[in-house]
Structure 1
Amino acid sequence: MFSRILLAELLKIRRKWIVALAIIGPLGVVLLQAVNYGLRYDYLMDQYAGDPWEGLLGQVFWLKMPALFIGLALVASMSAGVEHSAGGWKQLLALPVTRLQVFAGKVAVTLLLLLFSCTLLLVFTFIFGLVLGLEVSSTPWAELFKQSYLAYLALLPFIALQSWLSLTMSNQAVPMTVGILGMVLSLISIALPDWTPWAWAYQVVEPGMGLTIAGAGTATGLLVILIGYAHFARKDAS
C-alpha cells in the first residue's frame, strides 16, 4: 500500500517545478563555483596546489549547505502545496488511506528529492573537477560521499521539521520563514555551539565526526517526524 501512495505522490509532482528545483539547486552550486574558479583560478589552484581536489570539495561544500537549507524548505513547501490548494486535503483524506500513510508518503517524497539533489551534486562536482583538469586517480571518493550523504543525514531534523510545518500549515509563509532562518543560522554556524543542529552539517567533514553527527541527525530527524505525525494526526483536514 505504501508503495502505491509513494508512487501517487511522485505522479502528483511530475509536472510541478519541484523536480526541476531538485536539479537546479545542485547545478547552481557547481555553476557558481565555476564562476569562482573562472575569476580566481590561479589563486585557488596555487592555494590548494598540494591537494586541488580537497580545495574544490571545500569550496563546493561551504556553498552547498546554505543552498540545501533553503532548498529543502522550498521542496517541502511545494510538495505540501499540492494538497493545500483547492481543498486537496479533504479529498485525499476521504480516500481509504490512513493519516500515517499520507504523512509518510509526503515526507518520503521530500526525503527522496533531497537525496536526489545530494547525489546530483556529487556527480556535478566530480565532472567539474575533471573540467578543471584534476586527476581521476586522485579523486577523494570517501570525502565526496561523506560530504554528500553524511551531510544529508545530518540535515534530517530540518527536512523533518520543514515537512511537518509545511503539511500542517496552509499558510506557507511560516515554513518558508523558518527555512530562511535556518539558512541564515547555517551561515553563522561557526559561531554556534557544537551541539546545535545547524552546526552538525558542517561537522560531518571533521575527522572522526562523520558517523557520530550522521547518527545524531538521523535519530533527531526520526523524533521530529514522530512529533510531526502526532500533530498531523490530530489536525482537521482543511
Structure 2
Amino acid sequence: MIGKLFAADLLKTRRTGIWWVVLIGAAGLAAMQALNFGLRYDYLVYDTYAADPWGGLIQETSMFVPIAIYLAMTLLMGMIANIENRQNSWKQTLALPVHRSEVFASKLLCCLVQLLAACVLLAASTAAVGLLLGFGGPLPYLDLLTLGFYPMLASLPMLGVMLWMTLTMRNQAIPISLGIAASMVSVFGASMPEILPLSWPMLVVRGHETLRFVGLGMALFAVLYLLGSIHFSRKDVA
C-alpha cells in the first residue's frame, strides 16, 4: 500500500513548484561557480588550482552545499506538508485503510527522491561547468557524485526534524523558520563542536572523517524518524 501512497504523493507534487526548487537549487550552485570561475579564470585555473582544476571546482562548489541542502530540506518538506494543509485533505488521507506510519514514510520517500534528484543534477551541472570552462583530463565521476550525496547523508538529522515538525504542526512558519536559521548557522559548521549535528555536513565537505559523520547522520536520522513516526501515528493531525 505504501507504493500507492508514494505514487499519489509524487503525483500531487506535479501540481506544485517543488521540482522547480530541485532544479533551481542544483543548477543555481553550478551557475554561481560558472560565474566565479568565469570572472577569475586566470587566478583560479592557472594559479590557485593549476594542479587540479576539477578538484578546485568541486571544492569551491562544495562550500555552499550544506546551506543549500538544509534550505532544500526545509522548503521541500514544507511544500509537501502544505499540499495536505492547503487542500484540507488530512482527514481523507488518514481515513484510507493504511497505517499512519505508512503515510509518514511516504512523505519521507517523496522528499528523499527529490533530494537525490537534486544531488544528481548538481553533479551533472557541475560537470557541465567544468567542460564548458575547458578543463582537461578525465571526469572525476566519483567526486562529482559524492559532492552532494555525502553532505546530504550527513544532513539527514535535519530532514528527520523537518519531517516530524511539518507533518505534526499546522503552523508551518515554525519549522520553516527553524530550518532557515539552521541553514544559515551551518555555514560555520567547521568551527562548531563535532557533537553538534549542524556541523556534520561542513565537516564532510572539508573531508574530515567523512564516513564517520555520514554514519552518524544516518543513525541519528533513524532515531528521529522512529520518534516522529510514533508521534504522528498517535497525534490528531486532521
TM-score (norm 1): 0.95
2: CA distance between counterparts of 1:38 and 1:20?
25
The Cα shift of 1:32 comes to 1.2
> Are 1:28 and 2:34 an aligned pair?
no
Aligned to 1:97: 98
In structure 1, distance between residues paired with 2:5 and 2:104 = 10
In 1: Cα distance, 2:150 partner to 2:117 partner: 14
Residues 77-96 of structure 1 correspond to what in structure 2 (within 5 A)? 77-96=78-97
CA distance in 1, matches of 2:143, 2:199: 18
The letter of the residue matching 2:68 is: A
Say whether 1:54 aligns with 2:55.
yes
Which residue in the other structure is 2:77 paired with? 76
Question: Shift of residue 38 of structure 1?
Answer: 2.0
Q: Is the 8 A contact 1:48 1:55 kept in 2?
A: yes
Give the Å deviation of 1:140: 2.5
Alignment of 1:147-226 (within 5 A): 147-207=147-207, 209-226=209-226
Distance (Å, rounded) in 2 between the aligned partners of 1:146 and 1:118:
8
Correspondence for 1:39: 39
- Displacement, 1:108? 0.9
SS at 2:98 equivalent: coil
Contact 2:65 2:148 in 1 (8 A): no
CA distance in 2, matches of 1:59, 1:29: 10
What is the distance in 2 between the residues matched to 1:229 and 1:146? 29
Q: Which moved more, 1:201-210 or 1:40-49?
A: 201-210
The RMSD of aligned alpha carbons is 1.4
1:164 and 1:233 map into 2 onto residues whose CA distance is 11
Gaps of 5+ in 1: none
Q: Which runs of 5+ in 2 are unaligned?
A: none
Deviation of the 1:206 alpha carbon? 4.6
Distance 1:31 1:63 in 2: 12
* Matched-pair contact (CA < 8 Å) for 1:6–1:109: yes
Query: Is 1:146–1:210's contact at 8 Å kept on the other side of the alignment?
Result: no
Q: Distance in 2 between matches of 1:86 and 1:111?
A: 23
**Aligned amino acid, residue 83 of structure 2:** V
Q: Give 1:56's aligned amino acid.
A: L
Cross-structure match for 1:2: 2
With structure 2 as the length reference, what TM-score do the two structures score?
0.95
